[in-house]
Amino acid sequence: MAFVKSVKLNSGYEMPILGLGTWGSPKGEVAQAVKDAIDIGYRHIDCAHVYENEHEVGEGIEAKIKEGVIKREDLFVTSKLWNTFHRPDLVRSACEKSLKNLKLTYIDMYLIHWPMGFKEGAELFPADENGKTLFSDVDYVDTWKEMENLVKAGLVKSIGVSNFNKRQIERVLSVAGISPATNQVECHPYLTQKKLMAYCKSKNIVITAYSPLGSPNRPWAKAGDPVLMEDPKILTIAEKYGKTAAQILIRYQIQRGNIVIPKSVNKNRIASNFDVFNYELSEADMQAIDGFDCNGRFVPLPHLHGHPHHPFENDEY
């Protein structure tokens, strides 16, 4: 089994640099994917309430603990507070719901999923009669104080943010008793996030890279959209190392020091994505890949423009 390097967080905990993503994984296949990943050697699983599959993740984890393959403390599990639960009085119960679904007594990393709050209620995506998303006026800095209370209550070990820009992180830091341990953002060669990476590093906040393979299964992909894993420049580098495009894209993030969470439910691909610790990309190839940056965001959320806390609307990074 490959040894997975870990990244030391500002909270004092170690977070494995490679994890299994579960966003968009087909229902009914997630529990098996988690079991396969654990057998292959993954010790980091990335989840979220809004993915609506945390109960399956919990089944997979529980099965492997019962089999004696792992102990709970061997695993690093991330979950995320959804946008409809930003109101301070809703934060703890939202976390407890994820804990119940995951069949865990604590979560290793709990993130504010987006800086944007949505109208509170039963709907994950509340909308008016015209289909326009209904916003909440809750400020994420007030949400953050409740995130800190989850740590104090022992429900979570570390807390962080996701999809926050520099200015938004600065606002959190201005009120924080506990600093965010990670900022989970879209990151790949078309969106290298160099400036945000440098800023986060200066604050001892680690970047977790989501959609590292270019999110090929995103539901809103259109014909003619660029496909990162089919980029001839990536394929040329992959051929040179005798690796797949996905392995190159994952290795690229690892060498940058970013935590990376590729998603798959296919056992062979889960194994292939894990097989990235026995080689290194040359400095020249790392720089070449850096050069593909075109601010190419696969998850831009144009339908949420107008939200006062939209992270991609007014800020450079």
**DSSP letter for each residue of 8-28:** E-TTS-EEESB-EE-TTPPTT
| Residue type at position 212 | P
Distance CA 172, CA 141 (A): 6
Cβ count near 64 (within 10 Å)? 19
Burial of 230 (0-12, 13-18, 19+ CB in 10 A): exposed
Distance CA 244, CA 229 (A): 9
Active site annotation includes 13: no
Whether 86 and 136 have beta carbons less than 8 Å apart is answered as yes
Q: How far is CA 86 from CA 111, 119, 142, 147, 266, in A?
A: 11, 9, 8, 10, 34
Would you say 113 is a known binding-site residue? Answer: yes
Catalytic residue, chosen from 42, 51, 106, 190, is: 51
Residue 224 has what DSSP assignment?
Answer: T
Contacts for 31 with CB less than 8 Å, ≥ 6 apart: 56, 57, 59, 60, 63
Q: What count of Cα atoms within 13 Å lies in the side-chain half-sphere of residue 149? A: 13
What residue numbers does the annotated binding site cover?
Answer: 113
What positions carry a catalytic annotation?
51
List binding-site positions for substrate: 113
